[in-house]
Amino acid sequence: MKYYLIVGEASGDLHASHLMAALRRVDDSAEFRFFGGDLMLAVGGKRVRHYRELAYMGFIPVLLHLRTIFKNMAMCKRDIVEWQPDALILVDYPGFNLDIAKYVHANTSIPVYYYISPKIWAWKEWRIKSIKRDVDEMFSILPFEVPFFEQKHHYPIHYVGNPTAEEVRQFQGSYHETAADFCRRHGLPTKPIIALLAGSRRQEIKDNLPAMIKAASRFADYQLVLAGAPSIPSEYYAQFLAGWDVAIVDNDTYPLLSHAVAAVVTSGTATLETALFRVPQVVCYETPLPKLIAFLRRHVLKVRYISLVNLIDDSEVVPELVADTFSADNIAHELSCILPGTTGRDRMLEGYERIWQKIGADSPSQSAAHIIYSLVRQ
């Protein structure tokens, strides 16, 4: 069978490459053509465009590159029609992909499958109209999206498992380093660890890390270890670590979480990773105009929580200190409630078990590949 895939960013390249490899295992004759990245190219097939030629973020960059974006979109539509795949597989990136879905649905009989559904539960919920009209099958990696799509919008979807959970399971199955060996490898003392996960973008590190350090430094019986992001040079971190007793480990987040007793984490996928490693955490995120953001969260925004952990359980498993509740004092207070020997820690660990149960043990790429192959064979 012939599969045409479109991704628009690095995470999509990763997820699509796993899906392609899984399709190869169920379909010996699988052919791939795609807008994608190097990971997809390594699996095999013909790359038409690199996703970097599509990925413009923010109003000004998009405005400056409108001509290129429209040119790529028109070329993509022509290429799909000319190649006539058995399935079009769109991976996240809704701004581009939903326009492609609209065109393909209106002008061809090619089935449109969406792998990793757009997060319309958080914003742009009006996109459900075009999804219902143009997308034949939707594949979700977040369990709480099932009631959102199926109960609220009467649109059946496939929950196929979560890639982060799959990565954590695979890592834990092969990682056997002791805490003492981890500390020795990084030149750390043997004190218990509070992990600091401050994000992967410079602005969020600048906004969050100083308060995270100030709060966690109040617990003298613990050592603070910062997870260095791959894209951030150590020189950038140095300005925030000066004067504080904080170690940094680069590109070693999963081993760090394997040995941490608690963590302070900015919102994002890291909150789910921390929960899946069963490390009690405080989630924090500083925002501009905190009082306005707090008002919008209470009265305008459609989601009750910002962390994936709480969204999955639909309850406050982990504390979220955002906007007007973000402060070093509040972080320190919440951290004191989840250290060893506290009832808050026990409650949070019970919540983590619910998260694992709701996510399940399915491999998302394998589950989606089996469903897609069975659909295109009909």
The tokens for 315 are 């309850």
Residue 295 has pLDDT above 60, yes or no: no
Q: What is the mean pLDDT of the chain?
A: 91
Share of the chain above pLDDT 90, in %: 79
Residue 317 has pLDDT above 90, yes or no: yes
Tell me the three state secondary structure of residue 167: helix
pTM value > 0.85: yes
Query: What pLDDT digit, counting tens, does each position of 153-205 carry?
Result: 999 999 999 999 999 999 999 999 999 999 999 999 999 999 999 988 898 99
Residue 246 parent element (H or E)? strand 246-250
What gap in Å lies between CA 366 and CA 26, rounded to an integer?
9
Q: What is the mean pLDDT of residues 317-325?
A: 91
Whether 284 contacts 211, CB under 8 Å: yes
**Residue found by looking up tokens 């469903």 in the block:** 371
Residue 297 scores a pLDDT above 60: no
Q: How far apart are the first and last CA of the chain?
A: 12
With pLDDT > 70 as the criterion, what percentage of the chain qualifies?
92
**Cβ atoms of 111 and 3 closer than 8 Å:** no
- Cβ-based neighbours of 286, under 8 Å, separated by 6 or more: 207, 208, 211, 326
Name which of 67, 122, 68 is nearest 92 in CA terms. Answer: 122
Q: Which residues of 175-189 are buried (b: 16+ CB within 10 A; e: fewer)?
A: eeeebeebbeeeebe
| Residue ranges of domains in the chain, CATH in brackets | 2-161+362-377 (3.40.50.2000), 177-357 (3.40.50.2000)
Give how far the C-alpha of residue 318 lies from the chain's centroid of Cα atoms, to the nearest Å: 17
Dump pLDDT digits (tens) for 20-66. 999 999 999 999 999 999 999 999 999 999 987 765 444 445 454 55
Q: What is the pLDDT of residue 58?
A: 46
Which residue from 254, 248, 263 is spatially nearest to 174, judged by alpha carbons? 254
pLDDT at 277 over 60: yes
String of DSSP letters for 180-227 = HHHHHHTT--SS-EEEEE--SSHHHHHHHHHHHHHHHTT-TTSEEEEE
Give residue 9's pLDDT band: very low, low, confident or very high (50, 70, 90): confident
Both structure tokens of 140: 């979700």
| Alpha-helical regions (H) of the chain | 10-26, 38-43, 59-64, 66-83, 94-107, 128-134, 145-147, 163-174, 179-185, 202-216, 234-241, 253-259, 269-276, 290-299, 308-313, 328-336, 343-359, 364-377
Task: Tell me if 196 sits within 8 A of 213, measured CB to CB.
Answer: yes
Q: What is the pLDDT of residues 278-293, one digit of tens each?
A: 999 999 988 655 555 5
Could you report the per-residue pLDDT of 99-125, keeping only the tens digit for each? 999 999 999 999 999 999 999 988 889
The single residue listed with the structure tokens 């504080």 is 244
